[in-house]
Amino acid sequence: MGALRERFWELPLSALNNDEWEALCDGCGRCCLHKVEYEDTGEIEQTNVACKLLDTQTARCTDYKHRKAFVPDCLRLTLKIVDSVSWLPPTCAYRLRADGDLLPRWHYLISGDREDVVRAGVSVAGRVIPEDMAGPLEHHIVEWEDPEDWDGEDDWGEHGEAPA
Ligand code: SF4
């Protein structure tokens, strides 16, 4: 654990304490959706089907602290694996920082408003269905679009280049 340092999100991921690591998440909920993986090719497709613990209206986990007890295969994103999780969205704060990019201007740590991730069209809040209503995942394959003109640069926060 540890206190949140000023502008901690500009530090390398390896320098973050536990609280800072947790606070980096933008709350988009996109990693909390089921995926379809094809055995023969290894290809992974996104769906609009939410994990049973996800509140579909807010895109927040309803029991984050105990999620592993209810969903044993819930991914716990760590520094060791962040580079190898291919399906993280390009907007994911962990992916951005792992690549040395700064957070986008709609990230709550930059804008000060947790709803900006919804306004930017990044959050899945209100756009997904619960897994117990979905039926076969193959019927729910979608492509989640990134914010208009998203290229990882125009959407950066106001602090310029990420530190090396
Ligand atoms: S995709 Fe990244 S930023 Fe979005 S909820 Fe998951 S960990 Fe947080």
pLDDT digits (tens, 9 = 90+) for 35-82: 999 999 989 999 999 999 999 999 999 999 999 999 999 999 999 999
pLDDT of residue 145: 85
Question: How many Å lie between the centroid of ligand 1 and the Cα of residue 9?
Answer: 14
- Is the pTM here over 0.75, yes or no? yes
Question: How many Å lie between the centroid of ligand 1 and the Cα of residue 55?
Answer: 14
Residue-wise pLDDT tens digits, 141-160? 999 988 765 665 555 554 44
The span from the CA of 12 to the CA of 158, in Å, is 18
Q: Which ligand 1 atom lies nearest to the CA of residue 25?
A: 8
Exposure string (b/e) for 145-157, b if CB count within 10 Å is 16 or more? Answer: ebbeebeeeebbb
> Which tokens is 39 given?
């055995």
Q: Which ligand 1 atom lies nearest to the CA of residue 122?
A: 4
pLDDT of residue 147: 77
* Percent of the chain scoring above 70 in pLDDT: 89
Which helix (H) or strand (E) element contains residue 70?
helix 67-70
According to DSSP, the residues that pair with 35 across neighbouring strands are 46
Residue-wise pLDDT tens digits, 113-125? 999 999 999 999 9
How many angstroms separate the Cα of 48 from the Cα of each of 8, 37, 45, 130, 141? 32, 14, 10, 9, 7
Pocket of ligand 1 from Cβ distances under 6 Å: 25-31, 77, 88-89, 92-94
Domain boundaries, the chain: 8-140
The span from the CA of 121 to the CA of 125, in Å, is 9
pLDDT of residue 146: 80
Look at ligand 1, atom 2, and give the residue with the nearest C-alpha: 92
DSSP E strands in the chain: the ranges are 33-37, 44-50, 54-55, 60-61, 129-130
